Chains A and B, each alone.
Chain A
Amino acid sequence: MTDPRKLKFPRLEVKPREATRHVLRNGIVVHAVEDHSLPVVNLGILFRAGTIHDPADRAGLGSMTATAMRLGGSRLLPGDALDEEMDSMGSSIDTGMDDDQFSLYGWTLARHLPRELELMASVLREPAFPPEKVELTRLQELEMIQRRWDNPQQVASLQFRRAVYGPSSPWGRLGTAAQAKAVTRDEMVSLHRAFCRPETAIMTVAGSFETAALLRDLERFLGDWNPGPATPAPVPEPGGALPPGIYLVPREIGQANIRIGHLSIELDHPDHCPLKLLDMVLGNGTFNSRLFRDIRTKRGLAYSVWSRIQPRALVPGTFTIGCGTKYETLDEALPAILGHVKDLRAREAADDEVKLAKDQLDHGLAFEFQSAWSVAWRAAWYEYSGLPADWLMREREGVLAATKADILRVAKAHLHPDKLILVFVGDPAKCRPALERFGTVRELPIPDQSSG
């Protein structure tokens, strides 16, 4: 029988698939990839906006505005009629606002594409914000605030985010019920008017269409939308992070949920590529990252264990390790995890683990082009984030060129065992004894969300 480890294959020649870039007469950028293998079309559009720009006493305004645009429908088609028509076509339009972007995503069978584009344009250009749907948006938001802490894994992630970015900074804060109650329809209308402008729009379309016809439709529905003077809002800085240390979020559950990490680099940092390789070696990727291999496979302590170094375009990103383990093994898992962080700073990685991470990336080149949507979306995302159009290949080359010496260097420069914030969600009586051996344990209760 063939030993699969001994099989050799020639290097696969991969023909890159590129999106075509188009600019509508009013400046809207469109990245398109035709793919006729199924009669469907995916689309997306990004606008420069974000919840980081919400006024201090209105956290939640941005995301509520985005929700109300869809729920309220447009002057062309009010919300309930829009819901009805979307379901009748089997199509979708979803709007949302994150920290640093407003997005609309759509999906449709190809035969309904022109109508999908028309409705998308109307939601963007002339959302109606009927008071009744503004109110519904508020009620939905209030309930989401209420339910934010239901899932222990999400509790861990949100508390970690608050801790590293500062609980009241625009990058770490969470909207409260009082703020959601205070948001008015007028505020939504002016926010929409301020951010939803063609001059910052970048669009992605992938699927079964003829590009010329697509562009004609887009010109028809969006081309006469007049741009105004672009007034980019200044990016607020994070601030007020909690001091490094151990934080316990009390919760009576069956397992301790853990997040460990600190702030990390911005997207354009020169160490981005070696750090990406470091992350792959540590815990982002295969069954053979250190954390998976040690904490899960060898010790059997966790189902979920991972690391993520996520650089961001506008502010420092995060370095995070996540894990869930039963209380009885907390005192084995925690030093083991911290040991891996320290070890990366103490000695060079082994040749075989670095090679494995690079091989997977290198021979996986074909996967960068296997989906029309991912090709088109990537092009749009790079442009939105201010990255060069050839960033994919530059980044890949950077990672493949990084050495174990680079990993050691960036580990020393960017992993800080003395600055770690450690968040544990779990039963205090069962967590404390294990945690107190590692330092002072501070409680980080779930914040009061009714006011503030």
Chain B
Amino acid sequence: MTTTALTAELQSFADTVVERKLKNGLTVLLIPREGVATVHFAFAFGVGAVDEPDGRTGIAHLYEHMAFKGTEAVGTKSWRKERPLLRKLDEMDGAMMAERARGPAADAGRLERLKKRFDRVEAQAEKLVEPNEFDAVYARHGGQWLNAFTSQDMTCYIIALPSNRVRLWTAMEGARVRMPILRQFYRERNVVIEELRIGRDSPQWRLYEELGVLAFTAHPYRIPVVGWLSDLQRMTRTDLEGFFRSRYRPDRAVIAAVGAIGKDTFKLIEREFSGWKVPGEPARPVVTVEPEQNGERRAVIHMQANPALAVAWPIPTWGHPDKAALDALSSVLGNGLSSRLHAGLVKKRRVAVSAAAFTEFPGERYPNLLTIMAWPRAPHTPAECEAAAYEEIETVTRDGVSPREVTKVANLLEAQRFQQLQDNTFMAAELAGAQATLGDWRTRLRWVGDLRKLTPDDVLRVAREYLVPRRRSVITLLPTGSPASTPAVPAASIDPLLPEHPDA
């Protein structure tokens, strides 16, 4: 891909970003903002759910939870006393798991004895814990929004502090990347399982989960970030420690600080993190390439909810010359109230209450999907929405798009870029995340320039090339109790367009 100049407004934003790199590969981004007395930190690691070993799905996200349990100093009354207890718990958990794995032959009496001993030791260990002290230390200094998130592509930790507390941040985070202690593991594992349950009860969440599973057969994007219940139930503390040691590395990490950046901000960061050693060779990145799809795939979800539809096609990602054109195509189809799907399905045909299109699900580090979603308006069905969506797509692949439409979506996407940068914590997470995931925080800013160079022919060409029936995956969510599948409705049976009112 050619390197594109930034637009004037994005250039003047980019000019405010100071980029430094430590010898161990850690990247530091400093973005000063005027008129504020706070610093908003994001600490991003180029490790996400895609990097999980087989049978350990959900480990990246579970680790993220455990990263709040403290260090050898923070979170404990005595690490020395705590340590042997944690080992013992791991051993007993392993013994219980092995016993359970024998299935019907498992010795129930032994399991019960083990569980009793386990509970006793866990209670002893619990007495040594200073619960949530990691949070308390930040809170005591006025820290806000302590949190973290894990995606397919990366993991990012955030906190905002009063501007004179940078040293607190470096001390806390320096310890967190060097000597994290994964205490209270067995309780936190249950917390994450409850998080999974919340997700699985939500129609939206299920739609995404099933779409990943259907559209990807080989690439790890097929697995939801939270992982599978059975894997979580068998995850061990040792698994997490191994994952942390190989994956959390300075050469895959990025710190972004936004706000009141002082003269000593970088020095403090450098002093803390320059001694963070690179732990040997990096783990092998994902090498699996999703095989080309050669036939439509369909699946149905039944839930106690109103119907929904998702259709997705595989597309390439950053670094591919079609990236910008595909994003523009997606916006032409379903970004905004004037987009083709909204205008066609919601406003004109009135078969849907909402319709949208987007790229970069399930992630953006690897080839992903151009997805359209529609929520049918009763009594209309997902099948009617699907037929109507295909007609809208056909008008694009047949007649193309106008130059005005291409300019419109470039404007819209540029504006949305700024919208995502206006909150200081979001800005930190966005830039650190882009650097950790894509290797360059400017990627998305340059992409706006790429969008500006697109012609209607570029958009037409990618529409014809990528949005083909044999490559699509279709998920239909239907209310519990409805027939297992709905017959595809021919386009002709869709409601005739409502007449435009003379007043309109």
Binding site for B on A (CB under 8 A): 1-5, 7, 9-10, 12, 14-15, 17, 35-40, 42, 78-80, 83-84, 86-91, 107-109, 128, 130-133, 135-136, 139-140, 142-144, 146-147, 150-153, 251-255, 257, 285-288, 292-293, 296-304, 324-326, 356, 359-367, 369-372
Listed A/B pairs (23) with beta-carbon separation below 8 Å: A1-B175, A4-B171, A14-B162, A38-B13, A86-B336, A86-B338, A87-B336, A87-B408, A88-B412, A143-B377, A151-B201, A151-B203, A152-B201, A152-B202, A254-B201, A255-B194, A287-B68, A287-B132, A300-B186, A326-B197, A356-B140, A363-B141, A370-B259
Which residues of chain B come closer than 8 Å to A151, judged between CB atoms? 201-204, 305
Which residues of chain B come closer than 8 Å to A39, judged between CB atoms? 9, 12, 418
5 further A-B pairs in the complex, CB-CB below 8 A; given A143-B377, A292-B132: A7-B168, A152-B201, A288-B132, A297-B184, A303-B192
- Complex CA gap A286/B145 in Å reads 9
Assess whether A132 is in contact with B135, with CB atoms less than 8 Å apart: no
Instruction: For the complex formed, measure the closest distance between the CB of A420 and the CB atoms of chain B, giving whole angstroms.
Output: 23
Instruction: For the complex formed, measure the closest distance between the CB of A302 and the CB atoms of chain B, giving whole angstroms.
Output: 5
Which residues of chain B come closer than 8 Å to A360, judged between CB atoms? 139-140, 142-144
B496 CB within 8 Å of chain A: no
B381 CB within 8 Å of chain A: no
- Complex CA gap A132/B184 in Å reads 59
- Complex CA gap A362/B162 in Å reads 11
Assess whether B414 is in contact with A90, with CB atoms less than 8 Å apart: yes
Assess whether A4 is in contact with B188, with CB atoms less than 8 Å apart: no
Assess whether A136 is in contact with B350, with CB atoms less than 8 Å apart: yes
Within 8 Å by CB of A371, from B164, B416, B424, B503, lies B424
Assess whether A287 is in contact with B135, with CB atoms less than 8 Å apart: yes
B105 CB within 8 Å of chain A: no
Assess whether A367 is in contact with B306, with CB atoms less than 8 Å apart: no
Instruction: For the complex formed, measure the closest distance between the CB of A387 and the CB atoms of chain B, giving whole angstroms.
Output: 23
Which residues of chain A come closer than 8 Å to B423, judged between CB atoms? 371
Within 8 A of A (CB), among B401-424: 404, 407-409, 411-416, 418-419, 421-424
Within 8 Å by CB of A147, from B33, B353, B501, lies B353
Complex: chain B residue closest to A40, CB-CB: B418
Assess whether B378 is in contact with A146, with CB atoms less than 8 Å apart: yes
B160 CB within 8 Å of chain A: yes
Assess whether B136 is in contact with A286, with CB atoms less than 8 Å apart: yes
B198 CB within 8 Å of chain A: yes
Assess whether A367 is in contact with B160, with CB atoms less than 8 Å apart: yes
Q: Which of B13, B195, B259, B411: most chain A Cβ within 10 A?
A: B411
Total cross-chain contacts (CB, 8 A): 261
Given known contacts A78-B504, A140-B353, A143-B378, A9 and B141 CB-to-CB distance under 8 angstroms? yes
- Complex CA gap A78/B504 in Å reads 6
Given known contacts A255-B197, A370-B36, A89 and B353 CB-to-CB distance under 8 angstroms? no
Assess whether A366 is in contact with B378, with CB atoms less than 8 Å apart: no
- Complex CA gap A347/B408 in Å reads 62
Assess whether B74 is in contact with A4, with CB atoms less than 8 Å apart: yes
Q: How many residues of B contact A (CB 8 A)?
A: 95
Query: Contact string, B107-135, partner A, CB cutoff 8 A, digits 1/0?
Result: 00000000000000000001000011111
- Complex CA gap A324/B421 in Å reads 33
Within 8 Å by CB of A130, from B378, B424, B501, lies B501
Assess whether B377 is in contact with A139, with CB atoms less than 8 Å apart: yes
Given known contacts A130-B503, A363-B141, A40 and B422 CB-to-CB distance under 8 angstroms? yes
B34 CB within 8 Å of chain A: yes
Within 8 Å by CB of A359, from B73, B142, B201, B414, lies B142
Within 8 A of A (CB), among B136-172: 136-137, 139-144, 146, 160, 162-165, 167-168, 171-172
- Complex CA gap A104/B291 in Å reads 48
Within 8 Å by CB of B416, from A90, A255, A297, A324, lies A90
Assess whether B338 is in contact with A80, with CB atoms less than 8 Å apart: yes
The list of the 8 closest CB pairs from A to B, nearest first, reads A90-B415, A363-B142, A300-B187, A300-B190, A287-B135, A364-B142, A132-B501, A4-B171
